[in-house]
Structure 1
Amino acid sequence: MDTEEHEHDEQTMEKKVRKKGKHDKPKPWDDDPNIDRWTIEKFDPSWNPNGMLEVSSFSTLFPQYREKYLQDSWPRVESALKEYGIACKLNLVEGSMTVSTTRKTRDPYIVVKARDLIKLLSRSVPAPQAIKILEDEMQCDIIKIGNLVRNKERFVKRRQRLVGPNSSTLKALEILTNCYILVQGSTVAAMGPFKGLKQLRRIVEDCVENKLHPVYHIKILMMKKELEKDPALATESWDRFLPKFKKKNVKQKKPKSKEKKPYTPFPPPQPPSKVDLQLESGEYFLSDKKKSEKMWQEKQEKQTEKSTENKRKRDASFVPPEEPLKINNNNSNKSENDKEGLTELTKSLKSKTKEFKKQKKTHEKVNAEEYIAVPSADKPSKKKSKVSRD
């Protein structure tokens, strides 16, 4: 009887086992060329004429500094949501925003879009930009970067790296990914198509985790934009065209010791512990009072040594420096040159005096009366004195 029951259980188990890939069969619409699976069709209210059966609602809190702005821009948000049949409420007492479906709501997914809208408004996204999330082509992603880095200073630097000088890096990413980006606090709020959001999340995480700089990602995206234009490369891999950036951590080589120690298979001896050193010196057997006295004495010795060293440094500033003796070979050479110059000068002076004396002897005596002024009547005829020359 037991064997029959056991066989029956095994047969039932075999029937229950499902085959993997049972429903993986080709469908008639798989090969239909008229169907474009990437287009997002706009919702038609005729698809859901009866509306929603249950009320769905979402609420989110907002910071106090956003209260004034939300209060001013709330009529605009309310009118935008009214077109899709969504009711919204701003509670300034609790500091919360609530969105919920109504009887007029036809699109079942619009309440999720409304939830994203209030979430973006609470994260400092301007109201005109946040309302665009209600469109079918627009999606949003809030990337949390606060918990990726522990050090606050490092986190601030990497967040600034994402923004770039004068927000240039952020603008380049917005152009290349077709997304709106807002870096606020410990989050990055982004709005755009699915493809752009996926690229942006990777760029932001790589930047904050210090894996790759955003500039390198920008270079890769620019190259991809150029490659997309070529239809011949549509079915090929682009890895050979894209640049590969790797971190270069240069490891400094340790200086090799000149003397090589002989190899020994035995490990080095274990260094003595604190207790062993105390046992060797005999300090282990001293009483607590003597130990404290010894410590006090050692402390006093250290203080005296330090004070003497400080005094020596202070006194060193008052000691006059020793004047160096100026004994140079240049000075001796100069003195020799001066002596030579003097001898030459004396010789030249002596020779000049001898010549002057010879000239004095040869000259005749000059008559002074010839050069004295005489009246015009008795003017003697001017005669040049002839100098006799040998």
Structure 2
Amino acid sequence: MPSTYKKDKPWDTDDIDKWKEEAFTPDQNLGGTFSEESSFATLFPKYRELYLKQSWPMITRALEKHGIACTLDLVEGSMTVKTTRKTFDPAAILKARDLIKLLARSVPAPQAVKILEDGMACDVIKVRGLVTNKERFVKRRQRILGPNGSTLKALELLTQTYILVQGNTVSAMGGYKSLKEVRRVVEDCMANIHPIYHIKELMIKRELAKDPELKNENWDRFLPHFKKRNLTKRRKPFRVTEKKAAYTPFPPPQEKSKVDLQIESGEYFLGKQAKERATKERREEAMRDKMEERKRKREEAFEAPKEEAEVKKKRKKRKVEAAEEA
């Protein structure tokens, strides 16, 4: 709001960010030390023990700047943070709680320490409970990573966050608004909506935010609306039962035997030589038919194709004949 007192203010220049939040200093803590001690603890998996042991001095130094004490218990497999007499920021213990939570979820220590900065938040999304089938869960979790991690890198660049997919959780670090976008993308991916749709939407939003004319307008007309194209698959039963014929009290007619068929054809009453002669004739006739079929197929390759001129002449002749008849 502009001041009504019209006087030159040489200290108020355009390059000053009036919305910037200054860092909390010990001088601003007018209440003094805390009356009670606050502490948080979390367990970590066995495979993280060696890494945490090596990087614990760096974590201790980072927490000492905010007056937070930390303990690494390798017997129980737990990390503990608590306030001390030197703690001046009430929110520091909550930041330290998020720090040990990220360390337990395999976030590298140099990256996890950034959570102590102002304006930085974290979100650990539990994705295993969103999909019941394990094979389906593994496939959808792989979609967040993409081929060679390209999808994950695109999400990190568009949302300005750090994302780590580890086991049954997805850990994200960044601004509050960005974390909301990441959670929406991850939950939709587990609900079988590919992250590439959200990436396209985020890219369009980033370009629209650069335009000063469209900055404060509704962007729904610019955003893509994807329709579901899943075809309805008819459920196929495991056992297909044939329809039963109408019930009749009479049994089906008995099939004729080989002897009955020979009696009908008269072959049964022939002598041995006559039977052999008839069998030989049938065999020779079948061989003759096969030879003629093969000969016809061989001769097809030598037949000349019909020329277009002859076909046109025939068509013209037919038209003339049709005209004469009419």
Q: TM-score range, shorter-chain basis?
A: 0.5 to 0.7
Distance of 2:287 and 2:86 partners within structure 1: 107
Corresponding position: 1:217 with 2:198: yes
Q: Deviations over 1:111-134 (max 9, x none)?
A: 000000000001100000000000
**Partner of residue 150 from structure 2, selected from 157, 162, 168:** 168
Q: CA deviation at 1:209?
A: 1.2
Specify whether residues 67 and 223 from structure 1 end up closer, same or farther in structure 2 by C-alpha distance, changes over 3 A only: same
Corresponding position: 1:248 with 2:210: no
Distance of 1:138 and 1:111 partners within structure 2: 14
Kindly provide the amino acid, as one letter, of the partner of residue 223 in structure 1: I
Counterpart in the other structure of 2:28: 47
Distance of 1:236 and 1:330 partners within structure 2: 78
Kindly provide the amino acid, as one letter, of the partner of residue 106 in structure 1: F
> Where does 1:202-351 land on structure 2 (aligned, <5 Å)?
202-210=184-192, 212-251=193-232, 324-327=286-289, 328=292
Distance of 1:148 and 1:252 partners within structure 2: 23
How does the TM-score come out when normalised to structure 1?
0.56
- Is the Cα–Cα contact under 8 Å of residues 133 and 139 in structure 1 kept in the other structure? yes
**Partner of residue 65 from structure 2, selected from 65, 83, 95:** 83
Specify whether residues 52 and 32 from structure 1 end up closer, same or farther in structure 2 by C-alpha distance, changes over 3 A only: farther
Q: Deviations over 1:352-371 (max 9, x none)?
A: xxxxxxxxxxxxxxxxxxxx
Counterpart in the other structure of 2:172: 190
Q: CA deviation at 1:195?
A: 1.1
Q: Percent identity?
A: 62
Distance of 2:45 and 2:151 partners within structure 1: 28
Which structure has the larger Rg?
Answer: 1
Specify whether residues 151 and 32 from structure 1 end up closer, same or farther in structure 2 by C-alpha distance, changes over 3 A only: farther
**Partner of residue 181 from structure 1, selected from 140, 155, 163:** 163
Counterpart in the other structure of 2:82: 100
Counterpart in the other structure of 1:152: 134
- Is the Cα–Cα contact under 8 Å of residues 143 and 187 in structure 1 kept in the other structure? yes
Distance of 1:225 and 1:240 partners within structure 2: 15
Kindly provide the amino acid, as one letter, of the partner of residue 121 in structure 1: L
Q: CA deviation at 1:250?
A: 3.5
Distance of 2:163 and 2:206 partners within structure 1: 20
Corresponding position: 1:74 with 2:36: no
- Is the Cα–Cα contact under 8 Å of residues 40 and 137 in structure 1 kept in the other structure? no
Q: What SS class does the counterpart of residue 71 from structure 1 fall into?
A: helix
Aligned residues: 234
Q: What SS class does the counterpart of residue 147 from structure 1 fall into?
A: helix
Specify whether residues 149 and 38 from structure 1 end up closer, same or farther in structure 2 by C-alpha distance, changes over 3 A only: farther
Q: CA deviation at 1:44?
A: 2.2
Specify whether residues 325 and 195 from structure 1 end up closer, same or farther in structure 2 by C-alpha distance, changes over 3 A only: same
Specify whether residues 153 and 32 from structure 1 end up closer, same or farther in structure 2 by C-alpha distance, changes over 3 A only: farther
Q: Deviations over 1:60-119 (max 9, x none)?
A: 011111111100000000000001100000011111100001111000000000000000
Counterpart in the other structure of 1:135: 117
Distance of 2:165 and 2:198 partners within structure 1: 18
Q: CA deviation at 1:45?
A: 1.6
Q: What SS class does the counterpart of residue 122 from structure 2 fall into?
A: strand
Specify whether residues 37 and 56 from structure 1 end up closer, same or farther in structure 2 by C-alpha distance, changes over 3 A only: farther
Give ranges in structure 1 of 5+ residues lacking alignment: 1-30, 254-280, 282-321, 333-390
Counterpart in the other structure of 1:341: none
Kindly provide the amino acid, as one letter, of the partner of residue 214 in structure 1: P
How does the TM-score come out when normalised to structure 2?
0.67
Specify whether residues 87 and 252 from structure 1 end up closer, same or farther in structure 2 by C-alpha distance, changes over 3 A only: closer
